[in-house]
Structure 1
Amino acid sequence: MTKLFKRIDTVFLEVTDIEKSIEWYTDVLDLELRWFQKEGGYAAIEIGETPLTLVRASEVKPATHCQFNFFTNDIKAAHERLQENNVDVDEIVDYGDVLSFEFRDPDGNILGVCFFEE
C-alpha cells in the first residue's frame, strides 16, 4: 500500500447492452448485482473488495489485452463453468507459480482468471 492510496475502489468496463451484460455477469460468472442505475447506464457488480462497474456505451472497442484478472481458488472449475456456458475461453496456461486463462465477455472485452498459492 502506498501512503497516498489505500486500494483500487472501482474498475469500470464499457458494455453496449447493460441489461444483457448484467444478466451475463450475474448468471454466467455467478456474481452479484450491487446496484443498477438504468437512466445513467451504470451497474455495480459485487466482486470482493473492488466492485466491477459496467458502463453503458454506444460502441465498445475492446482492448487488445486482458483488462483485469479475477482470482479463483479453483481455476479448473472456473474454466469448466465458462466452457459449459459457451464462453469464448482460452486454455489454462501454467507460468510456474501462476495458472491463468483469458476469456471474452459478450462485448469482446478480454478478461482473465488466475490462481496462485496465497
Structure 2
Amino acid sequence: MNPILHQIGTIFIPVSDIQKARDWYCNLFDLSIKGEILFDHLYVIPLEGTNLVLDSKIYSTDNIIQTPLFHLNTRDIHQAYSYMIQKNIDIITPIEHDHWFNFKDFDGNVIMICKC
C-alpha cells in the first residue's frame, strides 16, 4: 500500500517581510490577523482545505514564483477581478477565456485566480 496520501498539506510562499506579507494576505482574504509568527519566519494563512504558509526564511529573488504553482478558486471571475482592482492588487493578465487571471503579491509571486 502506498503511504503517500492524495492530498496537499500546505503551500509555501517565499516572502521578504513576514509581517508585511501576513498583513497583505490577511487583507486579500479579508481575514483578521490571528495566531503568531512562528520561529520568526512563518505565518499560516488558514484556508478551506490546503493552507498557505508564508515563509521569509526561504525568500530570495531567485525563489520568487514566476508562474502560478496553484490557483485560488472563485465562483465569479468578474467579481473576483473587480475585487482585486478595488484592493489595488497588481493584476498582470486580463481575464482569459472567461475563466482565469493572474496577479502578483507584494513580493512579485505570481498567483492565479480561476473560476471553479
Coarse TM-score class (shorter-chain normalised): 0.7 to 0.9
Give, in angstroms, the shift of residue 17 of structure 1. 0.8
The alignment of Structure 1 onto Structure 2 pairs a total of residues equal to: 112
Give the CA deviation at 1:91. Answer: 0.8
Q: Which amino acid aligns with 2:95?
A: I
- RMSD over equivalenced CA pairs, Å: 2.1
Deviation at 1:32, TM superposition (A): 5.6
TM-score with structure 1 setting the length: 0.82
Identity of aligned residues (%): 27
- Give the gaps of 5 or more residues in structure 2: none
Question: Does structure 1 residue 69 correspond to structure 2 residue 71?
Answer: yes
Partner of 2:43: 43
Q: What SS is found at the alignment partner of 1:70?
A: strand
The answer for the alignment partner of 1:81 in structure 2 is: 83
| 2:56 aligned residue | 56
The 1-side partners of 2:115 and 2:36 are apart by 30
Which amino acid letter does the alignment assign opposite residue 101 of structure 1? F
TM-score (norm 2): 0.83
Contact 1:33 1:44 in 2 (8 A): no
The C-alpha deviation readout for 1:57-112, integer Å capped at 9, x for no partner, is: 453432321121001112111111111111111211017xxx00000000000000
